[in-house]
Every structure is written in C-alpha cells, then in structure tokens.
C-alpha cells in the first residue's frame, strides 16, 4: 500500500435532489483539508428527482481521522439532506469469495486479473460443488473447498457455504450452476454478483448455445447482476453483446459467448470493488 492509497477514500451518496448538495459536500471536504480527485454525479430529473454522487478524495492521516470525519459529515451534511451514504477507505481491501461449478472461463479470468493486480481485493477462497477445478485454483495459491449440493441437502449445503464465506465483503458466482437458497441470498443481500448468458430470445437449460444456433440468433451477450431472491432479476451492473451470423458453429458461439461472459463479469466485480455502484431499487447507477 502506498501513501496515496492509504489516504484515499470514496464517498457515495443518494438523496432527493435539492440545490446546494455539491457545494455542501465539497465545502465540507475542503474545510477538512481534503483534496477531491474525482467527482461524478447523476440526477434522475432536472428538478425534484433522485440524486447520486461519488466523490473520491485524499486526506492526510485518513485512518486515524475516519471516525471523526464520519460523525461530522453525518451531523453537518447528511442529516440536512436526508442522505443515504457510505464512506469507503481504499486501504480497507475488500475480501472476495468465489463460487464455481465445472466451467472455468469466468473463474480463471478473475484469478488471472487478481494475480496481475487488476482486481483490488483479497480472494479468500473458492467454493465449488465439484472437485474439477481444484488444481486450477490451488495453482494460484488460493484455498479450494468442495461443498456438494443436491436437491436433498440444499439447506445444509448453503449453511456450510455461508459459514465458509464469513468475513467476505462480496461473493462472485463464476458460472456456479446452482440456484442459491433464498435464506442464503437474504443474508448476502446485494453482496453477490452473478454472470449469465443473455440472448434474444432467452434460452434456458443446459445447452443454450445449441438452442441459439438452431434459432439463428444474430446477437449473443452476457449480463452481470446482483443476486436477489427472484432468479436472474436482480439489479443489472453490466452487459455486453457481440454480433454473429449464420456462419457460426455452436462451438464458435460458445467460445465467443464465454469471452463476453468473462469480461462482463470482471468489469462488474472491479466496479463493485472500486465503489462505483449505487443500487437504487432494482436498478444501478454505475460511475465509470
């Protein structure tokens, strides 16, 4: 950790849009001696809408001043504008757990980027319902656990996974081919990111690329989203598509689709780690 990282924080704010918010926040930080290095904002309407802000700033001795800074901001700014807000220190490295089944493309992309310093986090462990990827994971020096999941042991299995993942700030489903237990999802509300293919029309089942080929699709894509109790209906973080045509075989569709999946998931995870996402109901505001 360098000194810049140690003294850098991010402030995320949501509130009703009113005059004076930017001035109030920037003035508060100025009087604290902070230097604003990035400021992004968004309002849902010209007047009377919802307001969203992300501010990144540097402040000397930030670690020791965090508690006082938080209390003072709450009393002097947040209460006045009835803000929902959070302050994140860059030096507080987020811990991430990964769930995976047998397919490795999304998992290996995350592990590779993390090893190269592209994901600012600590990957604590990978949990799978199969042994298949143990060697691939352990080659990165990351613990690998197997928790079999069947229709008869789901509650017990997810209780075990919940225990294994305690202490993590985020869970990532890197093509984990199981439907999460509802109680598990509630415990990890807005702390689980999933990736899945997305076609028009939407194909479900074990072989969506074969179905897509048979229907002659012209676009394939992927969607990364937060997991909610409603299957694949959580707030969308990132999406991407690639154009295809009649020349593509099933294998070519699958290869291209997996490329899209791995990159979409990696971007979504990175933006979460960098505190770029504000969830607003079933939508997200993503500051890039």
Q: What is the pLDDT of residue 198?
A: 79
Q: What is the pLDDT of residue 188?
A: 96
Q: Give the pairing type, strands 277-280 and 236-243.
A: unpaired
Q: What is the pLDDT of residue 201?
A: 66
Residues 233-258 have pLDDT tens digits of 899 999 999 999 999 999 999 999 99
Omega prior to 170 cis, within 30 of 0: no
Report pTM. Answer: 0.94
Residues tagged active-site: 232
Mean pLDDT of 148-155: 92
CATH entry 3.40.50.300 includes domain 5-89: no
Q: What is the pLDDT of residue 4?
A: 60
* 94-286 topology per CATH: Rossmann fold (3.40.50)
Residues 212-237 have pLDDT tens digits of 999 999 999 999 999 998 777 899 99
Apex 199 CA angle, 238 and 148, nearest 5: 75
Mean pLDDT of 8-15: 98
What are the residue ranges of CATH 3.30.70.260 in the chain?
5-89
Residues 122-142 have pLDDT tens digits of 999 999 999 999 999 999 999
Residues 14-29 have pLDDT tens digits of 999 999 999 999 999 9
Looking at the chain, the whole-number percentage of residues with pLDDT higher than 90 is 88
Residues 53-63 have pLDDT tens digits of 999 999 999 99
Backbone phi and psi for residue 109, each to the nearest 5 degrees, phi listed first: -65, -45
C-beta of residue 39 within 8 angstroms of C-beta of residue 45: no
């Amino acid at each position: 950790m360098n000194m810049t990282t140690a003294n850098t924080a991010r402030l995320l704010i949501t509130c009703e849009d009113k005059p004076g918010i930017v001035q109030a926040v920037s003035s508060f930080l100025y009087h604290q001696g902070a230097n604003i290095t990035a400021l992004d904002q968004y309002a849902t309407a010209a007047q009377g809408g919802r307001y969203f802000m992300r501010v990144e700033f540097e402040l000397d001795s930030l670690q020791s001043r965090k508690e006082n800074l938080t209390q003072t901001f709450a009393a002097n700014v947040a209460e006045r504008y009835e803000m929902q807000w959070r302050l994140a220190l860059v030096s507080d490295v987020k811990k991430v757990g990964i769930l995976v089944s047998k397919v490795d493309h999304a998992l290996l992309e995350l592990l590779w980027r993390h090893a190269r310093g592209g994901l600012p986090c600590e990957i604590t462990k990978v949990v799978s319902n199969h042994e298949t990827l143990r060697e691939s994971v352990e080659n990165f020096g990351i613990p690998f656990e197997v928790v079999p999941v069947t229709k008869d042991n789901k509650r017990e299995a997810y209780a075990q996974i919940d225990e294994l993942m305690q202490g993590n700030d985020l869970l990532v489903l890197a093509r984990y081919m199981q439907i999460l237990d509802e109680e598990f999802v509630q415990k990890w509300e807005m702390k689980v990111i999933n990736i899945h293919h997305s076609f028009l029309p939407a194909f479900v089942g074990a072989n969506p690329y074969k179905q897509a080929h048979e229907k002659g699709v012209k676009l394939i894509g992927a969607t990364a989203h937060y997991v909610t109790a409603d299957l694949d209906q959580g707030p969308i973080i990132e999406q991407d598509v690639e154009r295809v045509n009649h020349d593509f075989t099933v294998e070519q569709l699958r290869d291209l689709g997996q490329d899209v999946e791995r990159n979409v998931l990696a971007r979504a995870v990175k933006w979460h780690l960098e505190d770029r996402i504000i969830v607003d109901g079933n939508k997200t505001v993503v500051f890039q």
